[in-house]
Amino acid sequence: MRLLSTLAASALLLPLAAHATDPYSYAQPDQVRVTHLDLDLKLDFPHQELHGRATLSLKWVNPKASSLVLDTRDLKIASIEGIDAKGHAHALTYALAPRDKQLGSKLTIATPDHPAKVRIVYDTSPEATGLQWLTRAQTADKKLPFMFSQSESIHARSWVPLQDSPAIRITYDAHVTAPKGVRVVMSALNDLHHPLDGDFRFDQPHPIPSYLLAIAAGDIAAEATGPRSAVYAEPSMVHKAAHEFEDTEKMIATTEKLYGPYRWGRYDLIVLPPSFPFGGMENPNMTFATPTIVVGDKSLASVISHELAHSWSGNLVTNATWRDGWLNEGFTTYVQGRITEAVYGKTLADEEALLSARALEKSIGTMPPNSQKLAPVPGKVDADDALSDVAYDKGSWFLRTLEQRFGRAAFDPYLKSYFDHFAFQSITTEQMLAFLKANLIDKYPGKMSMAEVNEWVYGTGIPKNAPLPTSARFDMIDAKVKAFTAGTLAADKLDAKDWNTQEWMYFLDRLPDTPKLAQMQALDAAWHLTGTPNAEIGMRWYIHAIAAGDKAVWPAAREHMTRIGRIYLTAPVYRAFAASPDGLAYAEAAYAKAKDGYHPLTQQVIEGIFAKAKTKSAK
Does residue 171 form part of some domain? yes
Q: Are 114 and 88 in contact (CB under 8 A)?
A: no
Tell whether 120 and 32 lie within a shared domain. yes
Single out the residue of 561, 565, 563, 583 nearest to residue 573, CA to CA: 561
Instruction: Summarize the annotated binding site for Zn(2+) as residue ranges.
Output: 306, 310, 329
Tell whether 244 and 320 lie within a shared domain. no
Tell whether 268 and 357 lie within a shared domain. no
Query: Domain containing 373 — which CATH number?
Result: 1.10.390.10
**Helix (H) or strand (E) segment spanning residue 401:** helix 395-406
The alpha helices in 145-264, defined as continuous H runs, are 235-244, 248-259
Q: Which one-letter DSSP state was computed for residue 597?
A: G
Q: What residues form DSSP beta bridges with 245?
A: none
* Residue 108, SS3 per DSSP: strand
Q: Tell whether omega for the bond before 153 is within 30 degrees of 0, i.e. cis.
A: yes
CA angle 287, 71, 598 (to 5 degrees): 50
Q: How many CB atoms lie within 10 A of CB 219?
A: 21
Does residue 14 form part of some domain? no
Residue 2 is predicted with a pLDDT of 22
Does residue 16 form part of some domain? no
The alpha helices in 528-580, defined as continuous H runs, are 535-548, 554-563, 567-577
State the Cα–Cα distance between residues 183 and 46, nearest whole angstrom.
Answer: 17
Q: Are 485 and 515 in contact (CB under 8 A)?
A: yes
* Residue that terminates a domain, selected from 200, 218, 236: 218
Residue 587 is predicted with a pLDDT of 98
Residue 132 is predicted with a pLDDT of 96
Does residue 1 form part of some domain? no
Q: How many CB atoms lie within 10 A of CB 260?
A: 16
Tell whether 193 and 52 lie within a shared domain. yes
DSSP 306-333: HHHHTTTBTTTEEESSGGGTHHHHHHHH
Single out the residue of 200, 431, 190, 463 nearest to residue 317, CA to CA: 431
Q: Divide the 619 residues of the chain into consecutive groups of 10 and give the mean pLDDT of each group.
A: 26 38 94 98 98 98 97 98 97 98 97 98 97 94 97 97 98 98 98 97 98 98 97 98 96 97 98 95 98 93 95 98 96 98 95 96 94 86 74 98 98 98 98 98 98 98 94 96 97 95 96 97 98 96 98 98 96 98 98 95 96 89
Tell whether 520 and 490 lie within a shared domain. yes
* Residue that terminates a domain, selected from 262, 281, 310: 310
Q: What is the dihedral of CA 82, 86, 87, 88, to 10 degrees?
A: -60
State the Cα–Cα distance between residues 226 and 55, nearest whole angstrom.
Answer: 35
Tell whether 268 and 342 lie within a shared domain. no
Q: Are 120 and 80 in contact (CB under 8 A)?
A: yes
Instruction: Please count the structural domains in the chain.
Output: 4
Does residue 13 form part of some domain? no
pTM exceeds cut of 0.85: yes
Does residue 336 form part of some domain? yes
Residue 386 is predicted with a pLDDT of 66
* Residue that terminates a domain, selected from 218, 247, 281: 218
Tell whether 330 and 390 lie within a shared domain. yes
CA angle 331, 445, 470 (to 5 degrees): 50
Does residue 8 form part of some domain? no
State the Cα–Cα distance between residues 398 and 384, nearest whole angstrom.
Answer: 23
Query: Domain containing 189 — which CATH number?
Result: 2.60.40.1730
State the Cα–Cα distance between residues 522 and 528, nearest whole angstrom.
Answer: 10
Helix axes 567-577, 581-594, angle to 10 degrees: 140
Where are the strands (E) in 99-254, listed by range? 105-110, 117-123, 131-134, 146-149, 169-177, 183-186, 199-209, 215-218, 221-226, 229-233
DSSP 238-287: HHHHHHHTTTHHHHHHHHHHHH----SS--EEEE--TT-SSSEE--TTEE
Tell whether 414 and 358 lie within a shared domain. yes
Largest CA distance in the chain: 83
Tell whether 305 and 318 lie within a shared domain. no
Q: Which residues are catalytic?
A: 307, 392
Q: How many CB atoms lie within 10 A of CB 473?
A: 17
Tell whether 74 and 213 lie within a shared domain. yes
Q: What's the burial of 513, exposed, middle or buried (CB within 10 Å: 0-12/13-18/19+)?
A: exposed
CA angle 222, 223, 228 (to 5 degrees): 105
214-231 pLDDT, tens digit each: 999 999 999 999 999 999
Single out the residue of 189, 311, 228, 216 nearest to residue 272, CA to CA: 216
Tell whether 234 and 212 lie within a shared domain. no
Q: Which domain holds residue 267?
A: 220-310
Phi, psi of 49 (to 5 degrees): -140, 155
Instruction: Summarize the annotated binding site as residue ranges.
Output: 306, 310, 329
The CA–CA distances, whole Å, from 143 to 167, 181, 184, 236, 302 equal: 40, 10, 15, 11, 31
Q: How many CB atoms lie within 10 A of CB 438?
A: 14
Tell whether 102 and 224 lie within a shared domain. no
State the Cα–Cα distance between residues 529 and 164, nearest whole angstrom.
Answer: 43
Residue 377 is predicted with a pLDDT of 87
Q: Using CA of residue 471, residue 296, residue 601, residue 510, what is the dihedral sign?
A: positive
* Residue 42, SS3 per DSSP: strand
SS3 content of the chain, % helix, strand, coil (to 5): 45, 20, 35
Does residue 17 form part of some domain? no
